[in-house]
Amino acid sequence: MPHLKDALAFARWLTGSRDDAEDVVQEACLRAYASIGGGTVLRPRAWLLAIVRNAAFTWMAKNRPKWLLASGDGTEMDRLAETGEASFTDLLTRTPEAELIRKADMAAVREAVAALPVRLREVLILREFNDLSYRDIADVLAVPIGTVMSRLSRARLLLAASLAEGCRD
């Protein structure tokens, strides 16, 4: 499946754990395979991410206490963020100091994103990390586009406020 990497990344953000995300994606793939003959899929990436989202919430309802928010402790998100390849010029210009600052900035962003309420976090992740269109996000979440835009705007404002507050500390 061409969108498996995106599905795993989205599941990691929702569950906060690589192992749990793998379980969720496995279940989502089984669901997708079972329903593939049901008709034409116009936007396969959005379709698969919708199945992953539903599988993640079903899995968390069964395997997590009700009071536990799906934000994780951030260690899995560290590994997720560091899987990107650096360009040659990035490698040449990195100094130990610059690398330390970059890691601190990445950690602050991850913590701020993880602290967002789930409804806002999932919209932000689908738009900013998975680069889905508003229409695709609306399809994944089964909400109107206006709701997507509203949640995304609120998520961005809360994220900016959280990061600005972190800079003052």
- What pLDDT, on the 0 to 100 scale, is given for residue 73? 43
- What pLDDT, on the 0 to 100 scale, is given for residue 98? 64
Alpha carbon distance 2, 141 (integer Å) = 21
pLDDT reading at 66 higher than 60? no
Can you list the alpha helix ranges (DSSP code H) found in 3-74?
4-15, 18-35, 44-63
- What pLDDT, on the 0 to 100 scale, is given for residue 62? 85
The b-or-e profile of 128-150 (16+ CB within 10 A means b, else e) is: eebebebebbbbbbeeeeebbee
pLDDT over 70 percentage in the chain: 75
- What pLDDT, on the 0 to 100 scale, is given for residue 139? 92
Alpha carbon distance 153, 155 (integer Å) = 5
- pLDDT digits 0-9 by tens, 108-117: 888 888 899 9
C-beta of residue 4 within 8 angstroms of C-beta of residue 12: no
> Predicted confidence band at 135 (pLDDT cuts at 50, 70, 90)?
very high
Q: For the chain, what is the mean pLDDT?
A: 79
> Predicted confidence band at 103 (pLDDT cuts at 50, 70, 90)?
confident
Section 92-96 average pLDDT: 54
Residue whose structure tokens are 């599988």: 55
- What pLDDT, on the 0 to 100 scale, is given for residue 163? 85
C-beta of residue 159 within 8 angstroms of C-beta of residue 124: yes
